[in-house]
Structure 1
Amino acid sequence: MNYKILCSDLDGTLLTSKSDVSELTIAEIRRIKTHMRIILVSARMPSAMTYLQQDLGIEDQPIICYNGALVLDGTQELSSVHIDTDHLDEIYGLAKANGTQLGLYHKNEWYVPTDSERVQKEIRYTKTTPVFRPTSETLSDWKDRELGAHKIMLMSTKAHADTLYPILEEELGTHLNLYRSNDTLIEIAPKSVSKLSAIQSLLRQDESLEHVISFGDNYNDIEMLQNSGCGVAVGNAREEVKAISNAVTLANTENGVAHYIRKHLVI
């Protein structure tokens, strides 16, 4: 198949370390980038993705942020879908009763109520910095500015997340996308968008999903991998992701994406 677009998740997939792409990945992406479009697809905020675009030499390409809730082409906003304030208030109430903190994201704004080990990890891994202020103040500010959240990250213990997740599913599952990114984190995004829908929105007239080769590792990558012309799971992917993929490559720490590109995308 003559692939025209390569779409890749970042964390646990294209990133060899927690925050960077390897020299091998940079070399392979730069080798093929004049022959196909390279689109980064992530749950990250824009500023946590653009430095990777620069490393890869693909700043001229669009990026899909927040699992599809925000799509940018340079400074141009191609699409934006957010979680409204009514749902934000409800999530805040449920989380507060559960002893869980909210990380709130809108475009390049990131707010957390207090510092923590989890927040420090996010700062190190994504090379971004949050604003520290009470969640109630952020929600009040956003109401005044008529803003919503492109993503919510619920940060707690495993026990609290185990309790809270089914409650959120029951109360809000029909309106919002929820998934566990790990044992202590629950991520929430708008229901009407996904990585797949964002990719579809970027297809040109002569392109279809059959022209897409995609790479991923987690639950929020499944739809993208299933519907691409070729969906490739990295070796460290969840078993459910490997099961639906067309192929499985090496782990992200072993440059799995770069090795697959080198072997199968001969330009």
Structure 2
Amino acid sequence: MKYKMIVLDLDDTLLRDDGTISPGNKQALMTAQEAGVKVVLASGRPTYAMRALADELHLERYGSFILSFNGAKIINWKTQEESFSSTLTPEMAHALHGMSLEEGVSALTYVGDDIITEEATKYTHVESEITGMKVVEVPSFAEAVQVPVVKVLMVAEPEKLVVVEEKLKAKMAGQLNVMRSKPFFLEFTEDGVNKGTSLNHLIQQLGIERSEVIAMGDGYNDVAMLEFAGLAVAMGNAPDEIKQIADYVTDTNMNDGVAKAVEHFVLKDLVPAT
């Protein structure tokens, strides 16, 4: 099988624990792109927080893509055009904030390049560190959020969010997509929007078949794209539940797991053996 697209989660997949791309991973992805394979960075991160990584991999040179906000946006990095975009109304964002208050957890969203919240917590600051975006603590979430937003996050201790997730998944079924991107992040996007459905939009635009797509991830918000892709690769550091749905388990994010999978499934068919 000749694969035409490699779709990659960022945190704990492509990126090492310090948030950087290893030389081995970078070289493998550059070689694949030079051979015509599209690389897609697919993350729950806002677009702003993916720019430097997209530039480091020269996605603009090869017409590769990013799927940000868990697939709520697809951007061609060469043209900077959005080929897909999904948002929540301000009213829905306000309603979710109200639910967060009822559940005793903190909520945040993004307006421009800022993280907006009424209550900054240690987890809000984790999001700031991951994204490089500034936290703006506001007196009124409703007054600060007057435009459509891509997603809302509820953040809290993992054991607390397990309970909140189960309750709100049932309450918002058919209205919103609810998923945890990290143990302490519970994300809300438009119903039917996830990395898998977004990936489906993209390959239809490009004329690529599902069977020609490799997806790699480690988290629960990667499940939809792993199940959609022709080849699902779980990281060695992924939870057992993620490994069980994968076709192949590679090495960890700290040991060039992405590069090893790319070399095994893509580059060996592109570069003659020596």
Moved more, 80-89 or 157-166: 157-166
Tell me, in whole angstroms, the C-alpha distance in 2 between the residues paired with 1:106 and 1:208: 35
TM-score, normalised via structure 1 length = 0.89
User: Is the partner of 2:25 in helix, strand or coil?
Assistant: helix
Tell me, in whole angstroms, the C-alpha distance in 2 between the residues paired with 1:41 and 1:182: 15
1:179 matched residue in structure 2: 179
1:168 matched residue in structure 2: 168
Matched, 1:242 2:234: no
Check conservation: 2:113, 2:133, Cα contact below 8 A: no
2:223 matched residue in structure 1: 222
How far off its partner does 1:98 sit?
Answer: 2.5
How far off its partner does 1:254 sit?
Answer: 1.5
Check conservation: 1:64, 1:70, Cα contact below 8 A: yes
Unaligned runs of 5+ in 1: none
Q: 2:94 aligns with which of 64, 89, 92?
A: 89
Q: 2:66 aligns with which of 63, 67, 74?
A: 63
Unaligned runs of 5+ in 2: none
1:52 matched residue in structure 2: 53
Check conservation: 1:150, 1:189, Cα contact below 8 A: yes
CA deviation digits over 1:232-258, x for unaligned, max 9? Answer: 010111222211111000111222111
Distance 1:167 1:24, change over 3 A: same
Tell me, in whole angstroms, the C-alpha distance in 2 between the residues paired with 1:51 and 1:89: 31
How far off its partner does 1:18 sit?
Answer: 4.2
Matched, 1:133 2:134: no
How far off its partner does 1:29 sit?
Answer: 0.9
Matched, 1:30 2:33: no
Let me know the Cα RMSD of the aligned residues.
Answer: 2.0
Matched, 1:124 2:129: yes
Aligned residue type for 2:13? T
CA deviation digits over 1:106-136, x for unaligned, max 9? Answer: 56443123443223322222323233323x3
CA deviation digits over 1:12-45, x for unaligned, max 9? Answer: 2111124221111111111111220101111110
Check conservation: 1:64, 1:198, Cα contact below 8 A: yes
Query: What are the residue-to-residue correspondences of 1:66-81 with 2, within 5 Å?
Result: 66-74=69-77, 75-81=80-86
Aligned residue type for 1:25? N
Tell me, in whole angstroms, the C-alpha distance in 1 between the residues paired with 2:76 and 2:126: 28
2:201 matched residue in structure 1: 201
**How many pairs align?**
262
User: Is the partner of 1:250 in helix, strand or coil?
Assistant: coil
TM-score, normalised via structure 2 length = 0.87
Among all aligned residue pairs of Structure 1 and Structure 2, give the percentage whose two residues are the same amino acid.
25
Aligned residue type for 2:88? I
Aligned residue type for 2:42? V
Check conservation: 1:46, 1:107, Cα contact below 8 A: no
Aligned residue type for 1:197? T
Q: Which runs of 4+ in 1 moved over 6 A?
A: none
Distance 1:10 1:167, change over 3 A: same
How far off its partner does 1:46 sit?
Answer: 0.5
1:105 matched residue in structure 2: 110
